[in-house]
Amino acid sequence: MTTTVEDQPEPKAGSHPSGDDRFGLVDKALKRTRYEQHALIEVLHVAQDVFGYLDADILMYVARALRLPPSKVYGVATFYSLFTFEAPGDHSCMVCTGTACFVKGADDVVRDIATEFDVPEGGTSSDGRLSLTTARCIGSCGLAPMVLLDDEVLGKLGSEEIRQRIRDLLATEEEVA
């Protein structure tokens, strides 16, 4: 089950003692799981959905609420690759590097995107516009090489075509802005 910011009702401004109402959504998850220590991972998922990433303040907030040692919470959060500790970019680009996509040149796709948009693999570009991640098999090997650009699935495209789609996406956003 995933909870997104959109699913949650808008909290009243200034209703959380920390001054950041997003913690109210974390509180809700804590209460729903009755502050059980074994619900740590579930609460961390909610916190990441709410904030977009986890930082030391958020982890410490969860650790205090669940009465867990900070090092334990930090250890759990860093163990799982689905938790991220940097703010994500405006757009995300996930390239599948599973076996079929590898055969179809996923490595080149990743390298080309990283070079053209100056974004490190597994990181975000310095202007915060694009995040590049890789995944091990999304399960649609018939579409190799597969790329997920935000929520759009791009399949069977070459490196140049994929990069054109990213250019278009980043360009439309700039026009709006």
Partner 1 sequence: MPERRTAVPVTFDGEDFEAYDDESVLQAARRNGIAIPALCYLEGLSVWGGCRVCVVEVAEDHRLRPACATPVKADMEIKVHTPRLDSYRKSILELLFAEGNHVCAVCVSNGRCELQDTAVEVGMDHVRYDQQAPARKVDASHAKYVFDHNRCILCTRCVRVCDEIEGAHVWDIAERGAGSEIIAEMDVPWGDAKSCTWCGKCVAACPTGSLFYHGKAVGEMEHSADIIRVLASARGKGEWLSPEVSL
Q: How far is the CB of 49 from partner 1 (least distance, A)?
A: 21
Q: Distances from the Cα of 102 to the Cαs of 15, 34, 125, 136, 161, in angstroms?
A: 49, 44, 24, 10, 17
Amino acid code (one letter) for 21: D
Instruction: Please state the closest distance from residue 161 (CB atom) to partner 1, in A.
Output: 35
Q: Does 41 help bind partner 1 (rule: CB under 8 A)?
A: no
Q: How many CA atoms lie within 13 A of 83 on its CB side?
A: 23
Instruction: Identify the residue among 75, 120, 128, 139 touching partner 1 (CB under 8 A).
Output: 75
Among 52, 70, 120, 128, binds partner 1 (CB under 8 A): 70
Check if the beta carbon of residue 93 is closer than 8 Å to that of residue 133. yes
Burial of residue 113 (number of CB atoms within 10 Å: 0-12, 13-18, 19+): buried
Q: Which is nearer to partner 1, 32 or 72 (CB)?
A: 72
* Residue 56 contacts partner 1 per CB under 8 A: yes
Rounded Cα distance between 89 and 22, Å, is 19
Would you count residue 164 as binding partner 1 (CB under 8 A)?
A: no
Number of residues that bind partner 1 (CB under 8 A): 11
- Does 52 bind partner 1 (CB under 8 A)? Our answer is no
AA identity, residue 132: L
Number of neighbouring beta carbons within 10 Å of residue 104: 19
CB of 4 to partner 1, least distance (A): 26
**Contacting residue, 15, 18, 37, 78, with partner 1 by CB under 8 A:** 78
Task: Give the footprint of partner 1 on this chain (CB under 8 A).
Answer: 56, 59-60, 69-72, 74-75, 78-79
